[in-house]
Structure 1
Amino acid sequence: MTGPGPAATPEPERVAPEPASPEASPEPATARAAPRNARRRLDLVAAALIGVLTLALGFALAVQVRNADEAEVLAGAREEDLVRILDELNLREDRLRQQLSEQRSALQELNGSGSRTGTALEEARRRAQALGILNGTLPAQGEGMTLTVRDPSGDVRVTDLIEVVQELRGAGAETMQVDGIRIGLSTAVTGKPGNLRVDGTALTSPYEFVVIGEPQNMATAMNIPGGVVQLVEGRGGSVQITQSDLVVVDALRPLDRPQYASPDTE
């Protein structure tokens, strides 16, 4: 009878390896590169900020040192140097004030020249108008009078009408017309009694003069002893004078153009 055999050694249990968890799996290359790029950008921004702050601090220190140096120089300067520096500053101030004054003078001169030009043009216009009225090439209005010469017998002569014109001008008449004909510097009275003409145009009695001027002075001149009124009455006629605050002289003379004369430009 055989004895029992040796006991069997139990076989060790095999443990199956646990599957790797997702967290333990290796990361892709792109996932690892993203944080590195972000850190690199932050490092560049920080470096740039540090550089700007360093430059600003350096500039502030330089300005402060310069001001301190100037202050130390002035503090350590001699009295003669301080006087010289003050004189130079005063001279510089004087030059700046002089330049400012010159600029202001130039501006005033420009404004003044423009004003003088405008005044000269306005004066030229006034003179041209005055000459136009005196020459009879422009109409005119103003205070004056109407002088009517009646000649029922036709005895008023050329010299009588010339006397009327001369007496009115002597009394301050500025311009006038008779029967719609403007009296000018070169006006000619011609004809014979009863057939009088002014610049070739026949007149018809009564002869009506419209005159601009101081009415009272002209009326007084017409009525002086031996004057126009007595002269016309001696020819059998009469004179009627009507003063007015506004009369109109609107007859015009043609502009005479010189045939031989020309302006002297020298």
Structure 2
Amino acid sequence: MSPTQRAWHALRNPSRSQAVVAVLLAILGFAAVTQVRSIEADDTYEGRREEDLIEILNGVTGTTDRARREIAQLEQTRRNLETDSNARRAAIEQAEERLETLNILAGLVPVSGPGVRVTITEAETPVRVDRLLDLVQELRTAGAEAIEINDEVRLVAQSSFQEVDGRLEVDGVALDPPYVVEAIGEPNTLEGGVGFPSGPVAALRGEDGADVVIERPAEVVIESVRDLARTDFAEPAQGQ
């Protein structure tokens, strides 16, 4: 058999080893073609001119810069809003605290807290109005935030003391002894403010002969309140 005839015979009747080699060669060829196509697909900028690549790079850089500026602006806006919100919240809290303080000073709300209770029991000589007024003034000077007499009258800056028909009147309310003055504040300071030598307590005991007892309750409760005076002529100005 000639060489040509042997070749044709091998192609028509391949052995097992030849078949395996053929399959491997086919797989290798497919992988090579796939790799080439993948490289061609991924290599997007291959073949571009340098000027084109620079222009593309500048465009990407400009977009990044704009994004960064927008992010910075949004972060600044968020910080401003947080600052405005905090300032508004602080202003509201200050206003509420101020309103609460004014309501207490005006005697419009019940209050409680540490303080002192001064009980004045008359002897044969009635307690003078100016003695009681001195006691109240010294309590205010010592920092009393709220004062009440006989669980009836809430004292404020405009309170008045007078004697009518032998009876003590405070803000038009006639009071009977013993007189119980309760004040809310720092107990040590309040007691020191009225109990110093030649002070109102000493005058009540020495000159009026009254029995004066100063106590420090665990809590002083003042429940009497004042009615808010209604204005007849004044009204808020525009913009207030």
1:170 to 141, 149, 154: 141
Quote the residue 1:223 is aligned against: 195
Q: Which amino acid aligns with 2:211?
A: S
The secondary structure found in structure 1 opposite 2:112 is strand
Q: Which amino acid aligns with 1:243?
A: R
Quote the residue 2:22 is aligned against: none
Q: Is 1:140 the counterpart of 2:103 in the alignment?
A: no
Q: 1:157 to 1:140 in 2, by over 3 A?
A: same
For the Cα contact (< 8 Å) 1:190–1:196, is it kept in 2?
yes
CA distance in 1, matches of 2:169, 2:138: 19
1:159 to 130, 134, 152: 130
CA distance in 1, matches of 2:123, 2:46: 111
Shift of 1:117: 3.3
1:196 to 163, 168, 181: 168
Q: 1:69 to 1:245 in 2, by over 3 A?
A: same
Q: Which amino acid aligns with 1:263?
A: P
Shift of 1:103: 1.6
Normalising by structure 1, what TM-score? 0.66
Quote the residue 1:259 is aligned against: 232
CA distance in 2, matches of 1:151, 1:258: 40
CA distance in 2, matches of 1:138, 1:84: 75
CA offsets per residue over residues 93-136 of structure 1, 9 Å max, x none?
Answer: 22211101212222343344344434333332222111111100
CA distance in 1, matches of 2:214, 2:223: 20
Q: Which amino acid aligns with 1:262?
A: E
For the Cα contact (< 8 Å) 1:136–1:252, is it kept in 2?
yes
Quote the residue 1:32 is aligned against: none
Q: Is 1:239 the counterpart of 2:212 in the alignment?
A: yes
CA offsets per residue over residues 62-94 of structure 1, 9 Å max, x none?
Answer: xx67x7563322xx315xx76665455333322
Percent identical residues: 30
Quote the residue 1:120 is aligned against: 91
Normalising by structure 2, what TM-score? 0.73
CA distance in 2, matches of 1:192, 1:255: 26
Matches within 5 A, 1:30-45: none
Count of aligned residue pairs for this structure pair: 199
Look at both structures and tell me which one has the larger radius of gyration over its CA atoms: 1
The secondary structure found in structure 2 opposite 1:97 is helix
Shift of 1:186: 1.3
CA distance in 2, matches of 1:220, 1:243: 12
Query: Which residues of structure 1 form unaligned runs of 5+?
Result: 1-60
Quote the residue 2:62 is aligned against: 91
CA distance in 2, matches of 1:165, 1:203: 15
For the Cα contact (< 8 Å) 2:144–2:185, is it kept in 1?
yes
Matches within 5 A, 1:199-214: 199-214=171-186
The secondary structure found in structure 2 opposite 1:263 is coil
Query: Which residues of structure 2 form unaligned runs of 5+?
Result: 1-36
Q: Which amino acid aligns with 1:201?
A: V
Misfit runs of 4+, over 4 Å = 81-88
